[in-house]
Amino acid sequence: MITTRNLKKVYTTEEVETTALNSINIEVKEGEFVSIMGPSGCGKSTLLNILGLLDNPSEGEYLFLDENVGGFTERKRASFRKGNIGFVFQSFNLIDELTVFENIELPLLYLRVPSAERKKRVEEALEQMEIFPRRNHFPQQLSGGQQQRVAVARAVIARPKVILADEPTGNLDSAHGSEVMNLLSKLNEEGTTIVMVTHSPDYAEYGNRVIHLFDGHVVTENIKEQHNA
């Protein structure tokens, strides 16, 4: 589903040139749950941004469902993102001015899904994430775990081909963290492809495979047995 060939990302400021990623060759198959690990500054988030089409690589190829999307313009990337890719962030990134319901509904609005169907799908997601009673609350009124569940609901609502999670448990205590991880596992079991960046070896274990990054290079790839808790 996702293939990168010799992916390279270089950041240039006025005087310094920093190579964030170098010759990255990875492959993610449909239905996989891949964890990416590595120390701070190793390029995990940069890789995730490129995979999520938030950023373009400096060199190399990025194939998404056999289409080379690496050189897309901002406009093309934006339209490709919706419906294909769902995001979950460490800091949740919910919109403070919108309620839980409205936050989850937002991707559907951008996809121009009719109102009745939007309502039905959001309500299903609310039930699925067990946050239905909270649907009219604003993000500030929720606990961190609840906020992240809203974020996950928002990521899956458009039924994307892949979910990219950037340290989804980073701001959560261990109880809430496990809750979110179980949620992601469940989604994966139901067929959603997941790529997750994490610091935590325990949570990385939830994936079928762990990719280790160091200084912008892939150092090891551990293929795990199917994790069965």
Partner 1 sequence: MLKNYLKVALRSVFKHKVYSLINLTGLAISLAACLLIYQYVSTELTYDTFHSNAGNIYRVVPSLQDDSGEWKNHAMSPMPMAPVLAEEHPEIVGYTRFTNSSAAVVKVGANCFTEKLLYADPEMLSIFTFPLIQGDAGTALRDKSSIVINESMAIKYFGSPDAAGKTVSIKLGGEFRDFTVAGVATDIPHNSTISFDFLLPFPVVLELWGEPFVSSWGAMVTRTYVQLADGTDPALLEEKLPATIARRAGLPEERLNRLRLALQPLRDVHLNPNYFNRFEPTTNPLYLFVLSGIGFMLLFVACFNFTNISIGLSSVRLKEIGVRKVLGAGRVRLIRQLLVESVFLSLIALVLAMTLAEIILPTFNALTDGHLSRGILFDWKTVPSMIVLLLAVAILAGVYPAIYLSRLSPSKILKGSLRIGGSNMFTRALIVVQFAVSIFFIICTLYMSRQMDFVREADLGFSADQIMVAPISSSEGRDVLDRLKNELGSNPAVVSIAGARESMGRESDYAVTVAESEGMETETFVFRIDENFIPTLEMEIVRGRNISTDFPSDPGRSVIVNEAFAQKMGWEEPIGKRIELNFPGLEDNTGEVIGVVKNFHYLSLHSPIEPAVMFTAADFPVTRIMVKIKPEGIPGTVATIGRVWSSVAPSSPFEYYFLDEDFNLQYQMDDRWGRIIIYSAVLAILISAIGLLGVATLTLSRRTKEIGIRKVLGASVLGIVKQVNREFIILVLLACLLAFPLAYYVMSRWMENFAFRANVGWTVYGVAAALGAVIALTTVSVQAVRAASANPVDSLRYE
Q: What is the binding site for partner 1 (CB under 8 A)?
A: 45, 49, 52, 54-55, 74-75, 78-79, 81-83, 87, 89, 93-98, 102, 105-107, 109-111, 154
Closer by beta carbon to partner 1, 110 or else 202: 110
User: What contacts 47, CB < 8 A, 6 or more positions away?
Assistant: 7, 9, 21, 24, 36, 197, 213
Compare residues 195 and 210 and give the one whose CB is closer to partner 1. Answer: 195
**158-184: string of b/e by CB count within 10 Å (b at 16+)?**
bebebbbbbbbbbbbeeebbbbbbebb
Strand bridging mode 162-166 / 17-24? unpaired
Q: How far apart are CA 77 and CA 68, in angstroms?
A: 12
Least CB distance from residue 86 to partner 1, whole Å?
9
Nearer to partner 1, 45 or 198 (CB): 45
Nearest C-alpha neighbor of 165 from the set 202, 193, 128, 139: 193
> Least distance from C-beta 192 to partner 1, angstroms?
17
Gap between the Cα atoms of 217 and 63, Å rounded: 19
Q: For the CB of residue 150, give the shortest distance to partner 1 in the complex, in Å.
A: 12
Q: How do strand 33-37 and strand 209-214 relate by DSSP bridges? A: parallel
Residue 214 C-beta: closest distance to partner 1, Å = 21
Could you tell me the sign of the dihedral formed by the alpha carbons of 191, 195, 201, 202, in that order? Answer: negative
Nearer to partner 1, 11 or 220 (CB): 11
CA 224 to chain centre: 20
Nearer to partner 1, 45 or 192 (CB): 45
Least distance (Å) from partner 1 to the CB of residue 189?
Answer: 25
